[in-house]
A and B are shown apart, each in its own frame.
Chain A
Amino acid sequence: MVVGAAMDDLSEDDFRGRAKDSVTKFSRTQPVDEEVLKSFLGNLFYVPCKFDDAEAFKRLKSRLDELENQRHTGGNAVFYCAVPPPVYPQLVTQLGACGLAREERGYRRIIIEKPFGTDLKSARELNTQLQKVFREDNVYRIDHYLGKETVQNIMVFRFANSIFEPVWNCNFVDSIQITVGEELGVEGRGGYYDQAGALRDIVQNHALQLVTLTAMEPPVAFDATSVRDEKVKVLRAVRPLEVSEMAAHTVRGQYAGGFVLGQEVPGYRQEPSVKPDSETETFAAVKFQVDNWRWAGVPFYVRSGKRMPKRVTEIRVQFKRPPHLTFGREQIRETQPNALVLRIQPEEGISLKFSAKVPSGGIRLRTVNMDFLYLSSFVADAPDAYERLLVDCMLGDPTLFTRSDEVEQAWTFVDAIEASWRDGKPPLETYKAGTWGPKGADRLLEVDARRWAVP
Chain B
Amino acid sequence: MGGAVIRMHPRHPDQVRSADWHERGVTLNEVLAEVTGMHAQLARRDAGDDSLPHPRNCCLNLVAIADDDEEARLAEHVGQALSAHHPLRQLLLELEPAQNVDRLDAWLHSEAHQTPDGMPVQFERIRLKVTGAGTQRIDSLVPPLLVPEVPTCLWWLGNPPVSDEAFLRLLELSDLLAVDSATFERPFLVTLELAGLADAVRRPVPINDFHWARLQPWRELVAQFFQPAERRGFLRGLNAVGVDYAGEGRGNRVAAALLVGWMASALGWRLQRAAAGSGGVVAAFYADAQDRTVEVHLRSVPAAALAAGELAAVRVESAAGGRVSAFAAERSGADHQRVEVRIDIGESETLTERLPLQTPAPVELLVEMLNQRPDQVYMRSLGAAADLLKAFR
Given contacts A262-B28, A310-B143, A346-B36, 15 further A-B contacts (CB under 8 A): A260-B140, A262-B130, A262-B138, A263-B28, A314-B148, A359-B4, A360-B2, A360-B4, A368-B59, A375-B39, A377-B52, A379-B43, A379-B47, A435-B169, A454-B143
Asked whether A253 is an interface residue with its Cβ less than 8 Å from the other chain, the reply is: no
CB distance from A344 to the nearest CB of B (A): 12
Contact B371 A262 (CB under 8 A): no
Write out, one digit per residue, whether chain A residues 362-373 have a CB within 8 A of any chain B CB (1) or not (0): 100000110111
A371: which B residues are within 8 A, CB to CB?
A: 55-56, 58, 149
Any A CB within 8 A of the CB of B141: yes
Report chain B residues within 8 Å CB of A361: 3
The residue in chain B whose Cβ has the minimal distance to the Cβ of A455 is B148
Interface: B99 (CB within 8 A): no
A438 to chain B, nearest CB (A): 14
**Chain B 8-32 residues near chain A, CB threshold 8 A:** 27-29, 32
B27 near A263: Cβ-Cβ < 8 Å: yes
Q: Are B5 and A359 in touch, CB under 8 angstroms? A: yes
Q: Which residues of B contact A198 (CB under 8 A)?
A: none
Q: How far is the CA of A36 from the CA of B4 in the complex (A)?
A: 59
Is the C-beta of B73 less than 8 angstroms from some C-beta in chain A?
A: no
How many Å lie between the Cα of A341 and that of B143 in the bound state? Answer: 17
Chain B residue at minimum C-beta to C-beta distance from A352: B149
- Asked whether A351 lies within 8 Å of B59 as measured between CB atoms, the reply is no
Interface centre among A260, A262, A358 (most CB of B within 10 A): A262
| Contact status B148-A376, CB under 8 Å | no
Q: Knowing A310-B143, A434-B140 touch, does A377 contact B55 (C-beta < 8 A)? A: yes
Q: Does A231 contact B (CB under 8 A)?
A: no
Cα-based distance from A262 to B29 in the complex (angstroms) = 10
User: In whole angstroms, how far apart are the Cα atoms of A359 and B5 in the complex?
Assistant: 7
Assess the A347–B140 pair: CB atoms within 8 A: no
Residue A378 at the B interface, CB < 8 A? yes
Q: Which residues of A sit under 8 angstroms from B169, Cβ to Cβ?
A: 435
Report chain B residues within 8 Å CB of A454.
143, 172-173
Please tell me if the beta carbons of B59 and A261 are within 8 angstroms of each other in the complex: no
Q: Does B217 contact A (CB under 8 A)?
A: no
| Chain A residue contacts of B104, Cβ below 8 A | 262
- Chain A, interface size category, equals 35 or more
B interface footprint on A314-353 (CB within 8 Å = 1, 0 otherwise): 1000000000000000000010000001010011010101
7 tightest A-B CB contacts, nearest first: A310-B144, A376-B43, A361-B3, A259-B140, A261-B28, A259-B137, A309-B143
**Chain A: residues with CB nearer than 8 A to chain B?**
183, 258-264, 309-312, 314, 334, 341, 343, 346-347, 349, 351, 353, 358-362, 368-369, 371-373, 375-379, 434-435, 454-455
Contact A376 B3 (CB under 8 A): no
Q: How far is the CB of A86 from chain B (nearest CB, A)?
A: 32
Q: Which residues in A have their C-beta under 8 angstroms from that of B198?
A: none
B56 touches A373 (CB 8 A): yes
Q: Does B275 contact A (CB under 8 A)?
A: no
Bound-state CA distance A310–B143 (Å) is 7
The complex places the Cα of A371 from the Cα of B39 at a distance, in Å, of: 15
Are the CB atoms of A376 and B39 closer together than 8 Å? yes
- CB within 8 Å of A: which B135-171 residues: 137-141, 143-144, 147-150, 169
Q: Are B53 and A309 in contact, CB atoms less than 8 angstroms apart?
A: no
Jot down 19 A-B pairs with beta carbons below 8 A, ordered by A.
A259-B137, A262-B28, A263-B27, A263-B28, A312-B148, A341-B148, A346-B36, A349-B56, A359-B4, A360-B3, A360-B4, A361-B3, A372-B56, A373-B56, A376-B43, A376-B53, A376-B55, A379-B43, A434-B139
User: Closest CB-CB distance, B190 to chain A, in whole Å?
Assistant: 25
Tell whether, in the assembled complex, residue B59 and residue A369 are in contact, meaning their CB atoms are under 8 Å apart: yes
Bound complex: CA A310 to CA B145 (Å): 9
CB-CB under 8 A from B320, the residues of chain A are none
Q: How distant is the Cα of A360 from the Cα of B4 in the complex, in angstroms?
A: 5
Q: How far is the CB of B1 from chain A (nearest CB, A)?
A: 10
